[in-house]
Amino acid sequence: MKTFKSVLVVAVVLLTVAFTVKTAESGYQVGDKVDGFKLKNIDNSMVSLSDYNDAKGVIVVFTCNHCPYSKMYEDRIIALDKKYKEKGFPVVAINPNDPAVSAGDDFESMKERAKSKGFTFPYLFDDGQKVYPKFGATRTPHVFVLNKEKADNFLVSYIGAIDNNARDAASADEFYVEDAVNNLLAGKKPATTSTKAIGCSIKVAK
C-alpha cells in the first residue's frame, strides 16, 4: 500500500511538472511583457518592436500567403491598420511558416502577395521561426494586441481571433480586436482578453 502511494505521489508530481513546463513554453499570456524582435520586412528593411516606441501599442498578426483563413482575413487586417494606425495602434504582420514546408510562403511570394493586396503595414518574415514560439502563436491568422506602458515595455492585452466569423465578414457580430483596441484607447482593459484563433496550423519542418 505504501509503495502504491509513493508511486501515486511521484506520478502526480511528474504530471504537475509536465503541465508547468508546457504552460511555461506555450508563449506569452495576457499581461506578459513582450521581448523585442527584429525581422526582415518585404522592402528588405529590418523592423523591430522598438521602432514603435512612439505608438500606443501594436496589433501583431501572425499570417501567411497560402492559408485560406489568412486570405479571408486579409481585407479585414488592412482595415484594422487603416482604422487604428493613426490612433496609435498600427498592424505588424508576421509570416511564421517555414517556406520549405509551406509552398508559396517564401519571402519573394510574400512581396508579391503584399503588392497585389495593397498591404498598408509591414509584412515580416520569421526567418528561422524564432519569434512565433515566443508569442505562442499556433494558427494563421493569430492576433496579439500589445499595449505600450512605457518605452520598450509592450504588454499583451489580447490574444486570439479578429472576429467571430472567418468565412463571412458581413456576418461577424463580435469584433474582438476592435473592441480590445477601443478599450485600450479609452484607458480601459479589454472586456475580452482571449479567444480561440481559427485558421491553419503554423508549418514547421519535422
What integer pLDDT is reported at residue 12 of this predicted model? Answer: 35
Average pLDDT, the chain: 89
Contacts 24+ apart (CB under 8 A), 124-129: 124/39, 124/40, 124/41, 124/42, 124/47, 124/92, 124/93, 124/94, 124/95, 125/39, 125/40, 125/42, 125/94, 125/95, 126/39, 126/94, 126/95, 126/96, 127/39, 127/40, 129/96, 129/98, 129/204
pLDDT along the chain (206 residues), means of 10: 42 32 65 97 97 96 97 98 98 97 95 97 97 98 95 93 97 98 97 97 91
Tell me if 30 sits within 8 A of 176, measured CB to CB.
no
Beta strand pairing call for 142-150 and 57-62 = antiparallel
C-alpha cell belonging to residue 147: 499595449
Query: Per-residue pLDDT tens for 72-121?
Result: 999 999 999 999 999 999 999 999 999 999 999 999 999 999 999 999 99
